[in-house]
């Protein structure tokens, strides 16, 4: 496989990314989409958003449910819905395992900037079990929480009778996966399972907990059935469908208006310090991505900056060589405690998911075995 690995000719994304495609120029989905976005009638899409807001505006309740963590993107989306579109958003956070102090502070700052907010905290015992199963069997240490992001938000929408749900970006379209949803303003449960949960319906994982927990215990992990949802017919959407997605401008707005603070140093595996600061498990999640596919957090960040014209491809390749393969060593003691593993057991899981066609182990560290131009 190593002889077949190549990078996008415009950014630095590898051909190993799931669902990625390249055009005749050798440009990946994300770069081709960035180019296509220049021809989109954004005012027309904004008009569609205004129509949706008018359709879902409530007389006496909340108009829209917005997922937030206190980070740049959710803060920006909530701000725009409230201040620019006159909506009354209910913001929701699904509690993360192994939270960062900075993430907690940013969420507090966001709420205090003037937002109604609910926090869902799924049973931490079950959450730990789900995430451990995901880590060992899928190389996805945040699997249980990723389920919560879809299921718990949907269930909260039903509880508060809010049929309009707004997330941030459609990551598949923006960062180089499938483009099937690029012209769709809402997405289905089936799409969420197939793309965001990599085709693994939570029911399959939940079966592994049979005898330990009842279906009622697993409320925040199991999708409600069609009969439960049909009363309000909830529709989940991505803000990126209606406005050209620009994470850096979101950061500037969130910093100015919602109290967003950055890390003092760059995040593990990249050169940026202002994104994904809510849980240390995200750093492990991104390192597993590197082990499985040969590209990490820095590759993704470089792609974003290249597409917005803030970085050259040559600069990006150098940054990727420096940062992409960094193991979040400082957090390993926390991972061992959380997953109830010894260091050798933890390392064995990492080794299991390391793609031997792309990587080789030298001095206890997984390094590239390829040289993609």
Domain ranges of the chain: 2-38+262-367, 40-241
Measured distance CA(63)–CA(57) in Å, rounded: 5
Q: Which long-range contacts (CB under 8 A, 24 or more apart) does 330-333 make?
A: 330/268, 331/98, 331/268, 331/280, 331/283, 331/284
Specify burial of residue 164 (Cβ count, 10 A radius: 0-12, 13-18, 19+).
buried
CA Rg value for the chain: 20
In the block, residue with structure tokens 């909506």: 87
pLDDT tens string 174-200: 998 888 889 999 988 888 888 778 777
Q: Give the tokens for residue 144.
A: 């249980």
pLDDT tens string 125-137: 999 999 999 999 9
**pLDDT for residue 1 is more than 50:** no
**Does residue 288 contact residue 141 with C-beta atoms inside 8 Å?**
yes
Has domain 40-241 been given CATH number 1.20.120?
no
For the segment 328-353, the average pLDDT, to the nearest whole number, is 98
pLDDT tens string 269-309: 999 999 999 999 999 999 999 999 999 999 999 999 999 99
Rounded to two decimals, the pTM is 0.93
Share of the chain above pLDDT 70, in %: 99
Confidence band for 3, pLDDT divided at 50, 70 and 90:
low
For residue 149, what are the CA distances in angstroms to 95, 167, 171, 198, 333? Answer: 10, 10, 14, 14, 26
């Amino acid at each position: 496989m190593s002889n077949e690995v190549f990078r996008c000719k415009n950014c630095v994304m590898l051909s190993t990314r799931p669902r990625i495609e390249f055009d005749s120029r050798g440009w990946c989905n994300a770069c081709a989409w960035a180019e296509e976005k220049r021809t989109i009638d954004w005012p027309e899409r904004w008009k569609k958003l205004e129509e949706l807001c008018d359709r879902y505006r409530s007389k006496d309740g909340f108009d829209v449910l917005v997922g937030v963590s206190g980070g740049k993107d959710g803060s920006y989306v909530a701000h725009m819905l409230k201040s620019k579109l006159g909506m009354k958003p209910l913001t929701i956070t699904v509690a993360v395992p192994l939270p960062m102090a900075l993430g907690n502070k940013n969420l507090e700052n966001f709420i205090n900037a003037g937002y109604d907010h609910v926090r869902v905290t799924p049973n931490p015992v079950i959450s730990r079990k789900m995430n451990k199963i995901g880590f060992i069997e899928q190389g996805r240490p945040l699997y249980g929480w990723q389920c919560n992001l879809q299921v718990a938000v949907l269930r909260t929408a039903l509880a508060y009778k809010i049929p309009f749900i707004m997330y941030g970006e459609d990551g598949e379209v923006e960062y180089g996966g499938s483009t099937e949803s690029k012209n769709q303003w809402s997405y289905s449960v089936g799409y969420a399972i197939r793309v965001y949960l990599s085709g693994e319906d939570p029911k399959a994982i939940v079966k592994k907990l049979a005898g330990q927990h009842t279906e009622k215990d697993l409320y925040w992990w199991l999708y409600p059935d069609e009969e439960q949802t049909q009363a309000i017919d909830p529709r989940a959407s991505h803000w990126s469908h209606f406005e050209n997605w620009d994470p850096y401008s979101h950061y500037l707005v969130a910093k100015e208006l919602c109290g967003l603070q950055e890390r003092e140093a760059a995040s593990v595996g990249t050169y940026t310090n202002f994104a994904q600061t809510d849980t240390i498990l995200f750093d492990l999640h991104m390192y597993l991505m590197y082990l499985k596919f040969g590209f990490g957090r820095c590759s993704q960040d470089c792609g974003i900056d290249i597409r917005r014209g803030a970085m050259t491809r040559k600069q990006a390749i150098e940054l990727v060589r420096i940062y992409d393969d960094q193991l979040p060593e400082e957090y390993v003691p926390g991972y061992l405690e959380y997953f109830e593993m010894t260091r050798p057991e933890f390392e064995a899981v990492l080794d299991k998911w390391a793609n031997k066609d792309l990587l080789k182990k030298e001095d206890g560290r997984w390094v590239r075995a390829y040289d993609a131009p």
